[in-house]
Structure 1
Amino acid sequence: MVTLTVDSPQNLDRARLTSGLVATVIFLTAIAPLATDMYVPAFPRVAGDLAGTATQVQLTLTTFFVGMALGQLVGGPVSDQRGRRRPLLAALVLMAAASVVCALTPSIGVLMAARFVQGFTGGWAMVIGRAVIVDLATGARLIRVLNVVAGVGGIAPIAGPLLGAVILQLSHWRVSFWVVAALGLVMVVAVLVAVPESLPPERRHGGGLRAFAVAGRLVLANRRYVGYLLVSGSAMGALFAYVATSAFVLQSMNGLSPMMYSADFAANAAGMTVAALVAARLAGRVATRKVILTGQVAALAAGVAMLAGAIWFGTPLLLAVVCFLVLMTAQGLIGPNGGALASAEVPEHPGTGSAILGFVQWVAAGTIAPIAGLGGEHTAVPMALLMIAGAVLSMIGLLVLARPAR
């Protein structure tokens, strides 16, 4: 670990990719799943305590996703202009403050607004953390580190619901927001200790909306970057089709208990984590595009099997469990590698590239989740169609848009 002050020329020369820095970035990636998964089990109690409807409580999740998307879109370019460390620290402080407001909220409207700020600042922090990695690593090492970040960070979706359920059983739903606020302050300390300024002044870009628009045009003019953007965004959409409807498929349609559903959810998240860690080991040994394609084929097979089971066999439990595990494991091969290759295509604008990537992923998450539930809680056909569509679009991104130059 290194402890560095902000923007000192000597410190910029000493910026290195240390284990402490990688651990801190992993910590940052846990913001979204923890702030979401810890809170979801308490939805019915939140509605009762704040005199809100189920739809209003659901909107507090939507505003969080919107904030995440916008925070990443804005945070990356700002960090390209101002450097990484100061904007990152500011985002974490504001995120902790927004979490306190969530914990003290007197009404559902205030909670919606605070959740938006929480998501915005959390997305801001996540995209800067990713940009720091891109600043300090290239090639196979960049792919390896981003896969490790995704793999170890995958523990958060496993622990989040379990921690939230424990908090709900022993205390009040507001305590989950106090926990997120405390974690935000811990992140501030971690950044102060382990994250140096990784973007020296000579590599920064001028600020303003015009500069951001120029950088965005340059990034989006890169055909291969757009291809990998489609790879990751489509995979994210398929993932959230599962997240939004798996409870209905396994519990409402197949009679699985909430405890067994939580165990299955954790096992699927573990499969994604293991796949991402395996992909990290393969970086530099096996072509990353082949790893992504393997995941895409597996995800497509899971979607086709799920659709067939939903149409002709009433979505049997064993089929659903296997398809969900295959889909989630495939995401561990697709998402981190697609994001890493996208970042590698635009090394001159890492913050902007990372911001657009995060924006697309979270817009996909926020858009697909409600669409997946349009068929109601007694059919898996819409979810299966979205799984197939996500896999197909992801393959188009890899094989058509991001095809290697001749």
Structure 2
Amino acid sequence: MPEALPAGGRHDGGLGVLVEGTAALSKDRVFVRVIVINALVYALLTAYLSAAPFILQGILGMATAAYTAVFAVVCAGALDGPVGADSRALLTAITVSLFIAHVVGLGTCIGNLPAIALGRTGRWAGTGSALLGFVQFVFGGLASPLVGLSGATSGVAFGIVIVVLGAVANALAVFGLRDRGERERVKAERAAARSRRLGRDQL
């Protein structure tokens, strides 16, 4: 398959191009906001991956086979561990349900946020992709050890980490994933489509 990018839009790359592209993209406040939100989502994912074995096996006492089943197909299993027998089943059901909701929420973001960010990069698509990957791995690497600060027998640190990261991500998202001009254009397109639909209905 031939190169899809026209020859006039290509460059040789290098540090200078990376710096120039980064400077250009950093002026786009929506792009910066989206890659930070994406990085926070990735940090939430790595926090979950880091904490799940300790919470499900170490705290709830889930057997290895049951934990593997939960991790793979999200189902409950046999328990035998430090949590009391009376409360173990309910606590496990609640925890697994929250894990499911957590991962499903991340799944809706992981594909869409990079698409939104890279859709704004224009000729700096390569630089934008590099920044996207770099920032998300930095955030993920910083979040992973934080979930263990309360020790292997406590999920307090994990709870605090995901609440704080989620709150910050949602606070940033309140400012919007489009700039004002884009929002107005989308509203105008929707209004025009609605008018055309009403016009057809009246015929």
Query: Could you tell me which of 145, 160, 165 is aligned with 1:390?
Result: 165
Name the residue aligned to 1:245: 51
Work out whether residues 240 and 365 of structure 1, in 8 Å CA contact, stay in contact via their aligned partners in 2.
Answer: yes
Determine helix, strand or coil for the equivalent of 1:373.
coil
Q: 1:396 to 1:259 in 2, by over 3 A?
A: same
Name the residue aligned to 2:25: 219
Counterpart CA distance in 2 for 1:255 and 1:211 is 52
Counterpart CA distance in 2 for 1:402 and 1:387 is 22
Determine helix, strand or coil for the equivalent of 2:60.
coil
Name the residue aligned to 1:99: none
Name the residue aligned to 2:137: 362
Name the residue aligned to 1:201: 7
Query: For structure 1, which runs of at least 5 residues remain unmatched after alignment?
Result: 5-10, 12-196, 269-312
Cα deviation, residue 401, structure 1: 6.1
Amino acid at match of 2:61: G
> Over aligned residues, Cα RMSD in angstroms?
2.0
Query: For structure 2, which runs of at least 5 residues remain unmatched after alignment?
Result: 75-86, 182-203
Cα deviation, residue 396, structure 1: 2.5
Counterpart CA distance in 1 for 2:15 and 2:23 is 12
Q: In the comparison of the two structures, how many residue pairs are matched?
A: 168
Counterpart CA distance in 1 for 2:11 and 2:173 is 30
Amino acid at match of 1:228: V
Cα deviation, residue 230, structure 1: 1.6
Cα deviation, residue 385, structure 1: 1.2
Name the residue aligned to 2:95: 320
Counterpart CA distance in 2 for 1:358 and 1:331 is 16
Cα deviation, residue 207, structure 1: 2.7
Amino acid at match of 1:261: Y
Counterpart CA distance in 2 for 1:344 and 1:211 is 19
Pair member with larger Rg = 2
Report % sequence identity. 27
Normalised by the size of structure 1, how large is the TM-score? Answer: 0.39
What do the CA deviations read for 1:97-133 (whole angstroms, capped 9, x no partner)? xxxxxxxxxxxxxxxxxxxxxxxxxxxxxxxxxxxxx
Cα deviation, residue 344, structure 1: 0.8
Q: Once superposed, which parts of structure 1, at least 4 consecutive aligned residues long, lie more than 4 Å away?
A: none
Cα deviation, residue 206, structure 1: 4.4
What do the CA deviations read for 1:146-194 (whole angstroms, capped 9, x no partner)? xxxxxxxxxxxxxxxxxxxxxxxxxxxxxxxxxxxxxxxxxxxxxxxxx
Name the residue aligned to 1:40: none
The reply on whether 1:344 has 2:119 as its aligned counterpart is: yes
Counterpart CA distance in 2 for 1:266 and 1:402 is 33
Name the residue aligned to 1:371: 146
Cα deviation, residue 201, structure 1: 2.5
Instruction: Report matched runs for 1:104-183 at 5 Å.
Output: none
Higher helix share: 1
The reply on whether 1:335 has 2:110 as its aligned counterpart is: yes
Amino acid at match of 1:326: A
Work out whether residues 231 and 335 of structure 1, in 8 Å CA contact, stay in contact via their aligned partners in 2.
Answer: no
Name the residue aligned to 1:380: 155
What do the CA deviations read for 1:62-111 (whole angstroms, capped 9, x no partner)? xxxxxxxxxxxxxxxxxxxxxxxxxxxxxxxxxxxxxxxxxxxxxxxxxx
What do the CA deviations read for 1:1-54 (whole angstroms, capped 9, x no partner)? xxx4xxxxxx3xxxxxxxxxxxxxxxxxxxxxxxxxxxxxxxxxxxxxxxxxxx
Q: 1:242 to 1:369 in 2, by over 3 A?
A: same
Counterpart CA distance in 2 for 1:241 and 1:392 is 15
Determine helix, strand or coil for the equivalent of 2:175.
helix
Determine helix, strand or coil for the equivalent of 1:345.
coil
Counterpart CA distance in 2 for 1:396 and 1:352 is 26
Name the residue aligned to 1:400: 175
Determine helix, strand or coil for the equivalent of 2:123.
coil
Counterpart CA distance in 1 for 2:20 and 2:176 is 22
Normalised by the size of structure 2, how large is the TM-score? Answer: 0.76
Determine helix, strand or coil for the equivalent of 2:119.
helix
Instruction: Report matched runs for 1:177-192 at 5 Å.
Output: none
Cα deviation, residue 403, structure 1: 4.9
Name the residue aligned to 2:187: none
Work out whether residues 236 and 361 of structure 1, in 8 Å CA contact, stay in contact via their aligned partners in 2.
Answer: yes
Work out whether residues 223 and 402 of structure 1, in 8 Å CA contact, stay in contact via their aligned partners in 2.
Answer: no
Structure scoring higher RCO (CA < 8 A, sep ≥ 6) equals: 2
Cα deviation, residue 402, structure 1: 3.4
Counterpart CA distance in 2 for 1:335 and 1:405 is 24
